[in-house]
């Protein structure tokens, strides 16, 4: 049974909405404290598995409290502890006056505002002198750059899985005389599908056939 320590150092007249949290699995949680003379057990609501919350208006100052978890009095490791005048160990919380809370919020807003400005910074000319970044190595490993071994069949489940960085990108193979070759790889659950599109760019049918034969003989996709 808890004692009735009234250890509130009240420094303001306006109550502050204060949140209490219990972060351990259980069936039922209540809490009470010096703010209600340890008389009322306030129920807490489970907001997610193992997380219980409740709010209460408290006057500014220090308040001792404790949780009743499945009918057992317990302290939470998320709050500091303190002994009362009878030697009972309780959690405690310090409620700041509203003026101090508003001052803290004002200081935080000032710090945030310092990160922004209406002045346009100078644009150093040297940033335009460098070369653009090279193509990431991962994007070089595309189906269009893959080599197919002739006269060797591989089941689809044994084919290498494409890098995730090439998904939903649109790739175009190096320029050819009679064909424009493009491809895109998509993922559907555990399957990867690559669509390769060949578009003719020349009206000479014989040249198109010869180049298409060269493509397959070279093992290019």
Q: What is the mean pLDDT of residues 47-72?
A: 93
Secondary structure letter of residue 153 according to DSSP: -
Give me 90's structure tokens: 């309780």
Give the Cα separation of 9 and 217 in Å (integer): 88
Partners of residue 183 on adjacent β-strands = 171, 196
**Per-residue model confidence as pLDDT tens digits over 99-143:** 766 677 778 888 887 777 777 767 666 666 677 677 777 777 777
| Confidence at residue 16, expressed as pLDDT on a 0 to 100 scale | 85
Closest CA to 149 of 157, 159, 139: 159
- Higher-pLDDT residue of 147 and 113 is 113
Sign, Cα dihedral of 99, 36, 81, 57: negative
CATH class for the domain made up of 16-112: mainly beta
Domain limits, the chain: 16-112, 137-217
| Confidence at residue 195, expressed as pLDDT on a 0 to 100 scale | 87
pTM of the model: 0.42
Q: What is the mean pLDDT of residues 147-173?
A: 74
CATH number of the domain at 137-217, out of 2.60.120.10, 3.10.150.10, 1.20.1280.50, 2.20.25.290?
2.20.25.290
Residues 6+ apart with CB under 8 A from 203: none
- Confidence class for position 13, pLDDT limits 50, 70, 90: low
């Amino acid at each position: 049974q808890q004692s009735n320590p009234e250890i509130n150092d009240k420094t303001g007249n306006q109550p502050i909405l204060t949140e209490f949290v219990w972060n351990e699995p259980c069936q039922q949680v209540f809490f009470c404290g010096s703010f209600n003379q340890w008389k009322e057990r306030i129920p807490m609501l489970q907001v997610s598995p193992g997380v219980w919350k409740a709010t209460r208006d408290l006057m500014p100052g220090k308040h001792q409290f404790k949780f009743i978890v499945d009918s057992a009095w317990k302290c939470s490791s998320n709050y500091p502890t303190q002994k009362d005048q009878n030697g009972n160990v309780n959690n405690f919380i310090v409620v700041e006056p509203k003026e101090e809370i508003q001052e803290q919020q004002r200081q935080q807003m000032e710090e945030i505002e310092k990160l922004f400005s209406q002045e346009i910074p100078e644009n150093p000319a040297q940033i335009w002198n460098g070369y653009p970044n090279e193509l990431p190595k991962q994007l070089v490993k595309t189906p269009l750059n893959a080599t197919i071994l002739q006269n060797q069949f591989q089941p689809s489940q044994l084919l290498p899985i494409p890098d995730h960085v090439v998904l939903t990108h649109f790739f175009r193979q190096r320029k050819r005389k009679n064909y424009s070759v493009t491809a895109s790889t998509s993922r559907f659950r555990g399957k990867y599908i690559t669509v390769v599109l060949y578009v003719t760019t020349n009206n000479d049918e014989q040249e198109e056939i010869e180049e298409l034969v060269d493509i397959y003989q070279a093992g290019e996709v």
